[in-house]
Each structure stands twice: as structure tokens, then as C-alpha cells.
Structure 1
Amino acid sequence: MDGDKSLFAWVVENYKDGHLICDDQSGETADFLHISASSRTLSFIHVKKSGSSSEQRKISASAHEVVIGQAVKNLIWMDFTALRTRLESPPIEEPACWNSGVKGSDRSAFLAAFDRRDATSRTEIIIVQPHVREAHYKHLHENGLDHEQISEDTLRLHLLEGLLNAARSTTTSVGADLFIIGSSD
């Protein structure tokens, strides 16, 4: 995926440890599923591009609503028996998959790793949504609440964090952790 700067290429590049499959389609479980080789952690990775690449973009709860909604509705796949059945019969002939960062031809290695998981194996829901810039987020946390009047940006931050906390509560209720990946620039 040389030269590809898409979020899908970013996922493939950053999840080389273990097994990664793409399930981006109608009725998907997530855009990607990953099983770490070292910890057997299963990650459901949901990806949504930012609506803006401007360094001036502001905090936005609405930029996250669709991808968070997808992640929450897909918690149905925390039924691992149903998930296993769904994954062993992909609706496309050659589903995209990678094993230790190398493109594979089928999901057999992923499914074998899935079968090695046990009750101690962690499950994560990961949302990749780069609309929020890390520097802006930190600035608002450090300075946003020191003013007598809450700024529009600080209000948007509270709305976003409320949305994320609700999603986290739902996620942890089914035994998974929730992680959000924003933009570092």
C-alpha cells in the first residue's frame, strides 16, 4: 500500500502484529478485525475519515456520531459463536486479510487465531476518527475550563465526551474496552 495515505492503509500499516481482516461491506462486523499475536486481543476497528483536513478544524460530536453508532450497533457481534460463523463464510470470494503484515489469500489464519482465544482474551472496540486533533483537544482540557464563560469549542468537547462516555458504557457492559484514535497533527 505504498503511497496510500487512506485510513484503511493506516490500519493495515499499524496492525501488523498478528492477523487482520477487512470486513468493510453491507452487514459488516467492523471495517477491520484484528487479533494480536502476542496477547490474543480481538479488536473491532471502525474507521471514518474526517470531514476536514484543515488544521483549524474544531471539535465535532457530529463527526463521530456515524462511526460511534456503527460501533455500538455492531456490538451484537460480541456473541463470538455468531461472529465465528459470520467470518468463516465471507460474502466475497477473496476477502482482504493480512498475517503479520503480509497479504494473505484467505481468513484461515485469522480463524485459527480466533479459535485460540479463551475467556482471558481481551476484546477492544477501536474507533479511528481523525477529526479531533490531539493538540486542540489537550489545549481545551488545559485551558477550556478556566474561563468564566464556556467557549463554543469547550461546549462541543463536552458534547463529544458525553457521546464517547455513553458509547464506552455500552461497550464495557458487553465485556469490551473502547478506544478512540484521533489525529496527532
Structure 2
Amino acid sequence: MSRLLLRISVWSLIILSIGELLFAADTITAGQSIRDGTDTLISSFQSFELGFFSPGNSNNRYLGIWYKISPGTVVWVANRNNPITDKNGVLTVNNDGNLVLLNGEKSIIWSSNSSKLPLDTLLSGMKLGWNLRTGFERYLTSWRSADDPSPGDSTYRLDITELPQLILRTGSKKVDNGMDTDFVAFP
């Protein structure tokens, strides 16, 4: 089999998770890896950084993307529900061309081949709401706590049961966020 050079960008990591398409110059290629504690990728405009981190006072490790100028402001976490318990995590490209996150035992913790992940940050250009053709919903989910990025009780999603509007909920309770989030429908 001929050698195939796969180019995966920092943005592709986000995009593969949410099904969008963007471009960036910084890449990880087949045969390369990002190791916890030694490697990160920085976007071409120096805005974002991808690497391993421990949130708050946690000892658990996660693969994430944060603002380069504000490392504490994490905008995406790959393994929200599956933390790595040591500093032996590795991000690499598998034979199928997917990004895979491995723990110290070489078990797959996360893969870009995932079909659906809840997000916690809305960045410019990202979509929120329903794809009425496919039924796929994009919405935001809070972290459980400052130490735990697993999905918490709060969601921010588009309610289309009546007049479409963005709704903030904690559990099943609608929260008044003080913002006028109703959409105006035009004929």
C-alpha cells in the first residue's frame, strides 16, 4: 500500500465532531502524535491551542482546545465523558484517517469518528439548532463543575415546539436568562 499522508488541522478536530468544514494550516499527519505534557498544536493565527489539560483542581486529563491568550478558557473537550487518569494520553491518526485519543494502555478513549457530541461553547461560524431534514440537533451543554467537563444539567437549545426560540434550561426547568431570544418569522 502506498504511503498516504493525512493532514488533519486543529480546526478539523472541532469540525469532525460537529460536521462542519473549516481550514487551518497547523496539522498532525499520519505517523505523528501529540503527547500529554510535551506537545500542543497552535492555530495559524495564534488564536487557539490544542493539547492536554486538567480543569480546576482535577487530576483527570482531557484533550481540549482553548484560547491561546487565555488557557483557562477551554472551548472544546474531546473526552468529556471519559477522562484519562494519568499523563500518558496520546492523540494520533489511525489507519482509517481518524483522529484517536489513546490512554496509557493504548485503549481508544475518543475518536473523530464519533457521530454526536454535546458542545459547551458556541464559536463564531458554528451552528445552533435543528437540521429539519436530518433531525440532527446542535445545542450547548454546561460542564458538571469547574473540575469536571462532563455534561452538566444546563442546556441552551432551540425549542421548535411552537414559535422557535432559544431556551436555557437547568434540568427540565426553563430559566429566564433576561435575554429576548425569540426569533421573528418572516413569510
TM-score bucket of the superposed structures, by smaller chain: under 0.3
Q: Which has the higher strand share?
A: 2
Greater RCO, CA 8 A, separation 6+: 1
* TM-score of the aligned structures, taking structure 1 as reference length: 0.23
Q: Which has the higher helix share?
A: 1
* TM-score of the aligned structures, taking structure 2 as reference length: 0.23
